[in-house]
């Protein structure tokens, strides 16, 4: 537990200007927020929605709070300024969606809208026969994005390979439900360090604070053009980047205008949340190493020995005293230069999300991209066609012999990020960034 | 996309024109990194410090100047290579578009050719219009190279021109 003076010094040291990272396109910050809202409980629920631990888009489809679905099984889409698609809203402006956290800022709100439109697209294009089929295909496609794109980009490669290619996914022996506090109170909050100072929306530069527009209809000047948020992997497409996963959080985030009428210091909030875990980051690493010494040999997991360059000026707080959230960020900065999570952060996020994906019960393990695409049926064919048009070919269906070979030699199945959000953007909005319902 | 020298074939060490040698890394050199002093004119600092080398955090920002040839004309140039991933996307595009030649005066500097026309994107309205590299000293008196970047933005219908600077140490041998 930090003293108030130590906490204050740590908040100051972690508030600052971090560089952007060219390998992480700006949209991935908000994929992370969307995932978090699907499996973690809100601190202050504004309605009766309670997410399950399964990564099954209950934030989109609802559990106790149902989504607004029309007679054809399509999401009812609202209309914002200038008739642009928006979340359906009531007269007060409140979104009619299960998890109101997905209306906190205009980017995550439009990501929610993106998945609603994706579901509707499947029905409109006869890629799904009814609501249930469209729902299952949408969730499966989302899970493929989470694994093949988001996690492959942000996890340490050794961790990704063990959990998602070899299917060995219980190295920390974390429970699958409820979502462990290590994840929700600390590790998965790494995305806050990726938030930029500003975003370019509809040709205008917007300070991040301006994006918090909960309960307000979408206006054209906040419209997100997804091609400016997600590029193709390993290709200079001019897409702006997220900030480094490091021990600095943009100063905008220490005074975010949320909840409405209030200001939140996200750095202080996350440090306090991490302190509720009772153990520091280093103590947790030591505990897991005692429980499972193989973590050292398989992943090179060890307590960190070095503070990030930006924390070296921090007075009165040692590496051993860092709560888990700053410890995870420090690890990412020191081990990976801010380009991805470090080993311990990757292990926690991989294990919790692998459990949540398994709970959804829609993907088979270990994950084979080719087979998973094939299991999408006509949708998988359409995605492969889009990929070919953009010269980003996706793997063809494996024969059983190839599957066995890939399972025995995961390197065969580990050819980088082949499937990504950009495929879906090109599928949904093939000719322009002007969205259709 | 802007012009890019990323596909220019690199020259072998023994092919590098002698006048390029003070400015480029050979195969025996490690990448260099941005160091102090860095400076942005006060009229542009709030707009540009997000993009500009040397102003964001303490992770090293690495790069190399190398000798390369234009694959169309066969002309040798000094171009920028091996950027670390913590360069802003738009600034990296500018770096990849830079093509330098040393000036011919007794104290040569590097002059960028064609950067104004390279099609790089604006950064909060500012466009890079010129780029020079000179040799100077840091605040400890140590020798550094310094990039002087010329920027233009239209303000109230009038072009506003400013200069910014970042520094880097001469290339050192790869440490084994």
pLDDT value at position A234? 81
Residues 211-250 of A with CB under 8 A from B: 236, 238-241, 244, 246, 248
Which pLDDT tens digit goes with each residue over A256-268?
988 878 899 999 9
| pLDDT mean over A416-435 | 85
Minimal CA separation from A141 to chain B, in Å:
29
Percent of chain A at pLDDT > 90 equals 83
Q: If DSSP states are collapsed to H, E and C, what string results for chain A?
A: CCCHHHHHHHHHHHECCCCEEEEEECCHHHHHHHHHHHHCCCCCCCCCCCCCCCCCCHHHHCCCCCCCECCCCCECCEECHHHCEECCECCCCCECCCCHHHHCCHHHHHHHHHHHHHHHHHHHCCCCCCHHHHHHHHHHHHHHHHHHHHHHHHCCHHHHHHHHHCCCCCCCCCCCCCCCHHHHHHHHHHHHHHCCCEEEECCEEEEHHHHCCCCCCCCHHHCCCHHHCCCCCCCCCCCCEEECCCCCECHHHHCECCCCCCCECHHHHHHHHHHCCCCCHHHHHHHHHHHCCHHHHHHCCCCCCCCCHHHCCCCCCCHHHCCHHHHHHHHHHHHHCCCCCCHHHHHHHHHHHHHHHHHHCCCCCCCCHHHHHHCCCHHHHHHHHHHHHCCCCCCCCCCHHHHHHHHHCHHHHCCCCCCCHHHHHHHHCCCCCCCCC
pLDDT over threshold 60, residue B84 = yes
Of A20, A338, A339, the CB nearest to B88: A20
Residues 6+ apart with CB under 8 A from A309: A333, B57, B58, B59
Q: Check CB contact under 8 Å for B86 and A239.
A: no
CA gap A413, A315 in Å, rounded: 46
The complex scores an ipTM of 0.89
Between B59, B121, B124, which is nearest A246 by CB? B59
Chain A residues with CB under 8 Å of B57 CB are 16-19, 244, 246, 248, 309-310, 338
What is the structure's pLDDT at A437?
47
Confidence of residue A432 (pLDDT cuts 50, 70, 90): low
Contact between B50 and A244 using a beta-carbon 8 Å cutoff? no
Residue A20 touches partner B, C-beta closer than 8 Å: yes
User: B86 to chain A: nearest residue by CA?
Assistant: A21
The pTM is what?
0.93
User: For chain A, which domains are there?
Assistant: 4-358 (1.10.640.10), 369-428 (no CATH)
pLDDT above 90: residue A152 = yes
Query: Residue B55 is nearest to which of A17, A241, A338, comparing CB atoms?
Result: A17
Does A403 score more than 60 pLDDT?
A: no
Band (A194; pLDDT cuts 50, 70, 90): very high
The string over A315-349, giving b where at least 16 C-beta atoms fall within 10 Å of a residue's C-beta and e elsewhere, is eebebebbbbbbbbbbbbbbbbbbbbbbbbbbbbb
Q: Indicate yes or no: CB of A337 within 8 angstroms of CB of B56.
A: no
Mean pLDDT of A3-28: 96
Q: For residue A409, is pLDDT > 50? A: yes
**What phi and psi values does residue A410 have, to the nearest 5 degrees?**
-60, -20
Mean pLDDT of chain A: 92
Residue A306 has pLDDT above 50, yes or no: yes
More confident residue, A68 or B175: A68
pLDDT of residue A426 exceeding 90, the answer is yes
Contacts of B124 in chain A (CB under 8 A): 205
The confidence score (pLDDT) of residue A43 equals 80
Nearest to A19 among B4, B86, B124 (CB): B86
């Amino acid at each position: 537990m930090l003293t108030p003076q130590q906490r204050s010094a740590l908040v100051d040291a972690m508030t600052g200007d971090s560089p952007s990272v060219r390998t992480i396109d700006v949209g991935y910050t908000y994929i992370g927020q969307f995932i978090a809202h699907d499996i973690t409980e809100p601190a202050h629920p504004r309605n009766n929605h309670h997410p399950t631990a399964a990564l099954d888009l209950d934030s989109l489809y609802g559990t106790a709070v149902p989504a607004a679905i029309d007679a054809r099984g399509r999401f009812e889409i609202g209309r914002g300024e200038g008739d642009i698609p928006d979340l359906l809203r009531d007269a007060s402006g409140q979104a009619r969606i299960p998890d109101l956290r997905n209306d906190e800022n205009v980017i995550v709100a439009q990501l929610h809208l993106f998945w609603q439109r994706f579901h509707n697209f499947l029905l409109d294009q006869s890629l799904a026969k009814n609501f249930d089929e469209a729902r299952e295909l949408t969730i499966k496609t989302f899970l493929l994005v989470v694994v093949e794109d988001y996690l492959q980009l942000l996890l340490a490669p050794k961790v990704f390979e063990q959990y998602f290619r070899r299917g060995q996914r219980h190295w920390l022996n974390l429970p699958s439900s409820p979502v462990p506090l290590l994840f929700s109170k600390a590790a998965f909050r790494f995305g806050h360090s990726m938030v930029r100072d500003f975003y370019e929306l509809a040709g205008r530069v917007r300070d991040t604070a301006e994006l918090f527009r909960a309960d307000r209809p979408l206006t054209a000047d906040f419209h997100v053009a997804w091609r400016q948020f997600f590029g193709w992997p390993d290709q200079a497409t001019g897409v702006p980047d997220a900030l480094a996963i490091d021990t600095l959080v943009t100063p905008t985030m220490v005074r975010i205008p949320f909840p409405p009428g209030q200001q939140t210091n996200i750095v202080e909030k996350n440090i306090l949340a991490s302190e509720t875990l009772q153990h520091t980051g280093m103590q947790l690493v030591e505990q897991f190493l005692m429980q499972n010494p193989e973590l050292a040999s398989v992943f090179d997991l060890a307590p960190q020995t070095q503070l990030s360059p930006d924390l070296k000026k921090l007075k009165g707080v040692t590496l051993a005293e860092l709560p888990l959230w700053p410890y995870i960020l420090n690890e990412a900065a020191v081990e990976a230069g801010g380009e991805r999570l470090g080993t311990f952060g990757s292990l926690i996020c991989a294990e919790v999300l692998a459990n949540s994906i398994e709970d959804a019960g829609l993907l088979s393990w270990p994950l084979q991209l080719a087979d998973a695409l094939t299991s999408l049926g006509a949708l998988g064919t359409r995605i492969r066609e889009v990929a070919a048009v953009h010269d980003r070919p996706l793997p063809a269906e494996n024969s059983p012999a190839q599957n066995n070979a890939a399972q025995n030699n995961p390197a065969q199945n580990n050819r980088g990020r082949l499937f990504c959000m950009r495929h879906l953007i090109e599928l949904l909005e093939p000719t322009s960034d002007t969205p259709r319902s | 996309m802007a012009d890019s020298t990323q596909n220019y074939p690199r020259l072998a060490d023994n092919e590098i024109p002698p006048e390029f040698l003070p400015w480029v890394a050979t195969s025996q050199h490690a990448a260099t990194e941005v160091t102090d002093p860095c400076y942005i004119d006060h009229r542009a600092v709030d707009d540009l410090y997000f993009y500009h080398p040397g102003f964001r955090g303490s992770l090293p920002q690495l790069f190399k100047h190398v000798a390369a040839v234009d694959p169309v004309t066969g002309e040798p140039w000094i171009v920028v290579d091996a950027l670390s991933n913590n360069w802003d996307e738009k600034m990296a595009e500018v770096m990849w578009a830079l093509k330098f030649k040393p000036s011919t005066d007794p104290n040569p500097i590097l002059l960028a050719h064609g950067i104004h026309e390279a099609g790089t994107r604006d950064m909060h309205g500012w466009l890079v219009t010129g780029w020079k590299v000179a040799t100077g000293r840091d605040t400890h008196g140590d020798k550094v190279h310094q990039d002087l970047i010329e920027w233009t933005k239209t303000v109230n219908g009038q072009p506003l021109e400013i200069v910014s600077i970042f520094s880097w140490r001469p290339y050192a041998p790869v440490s084994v």
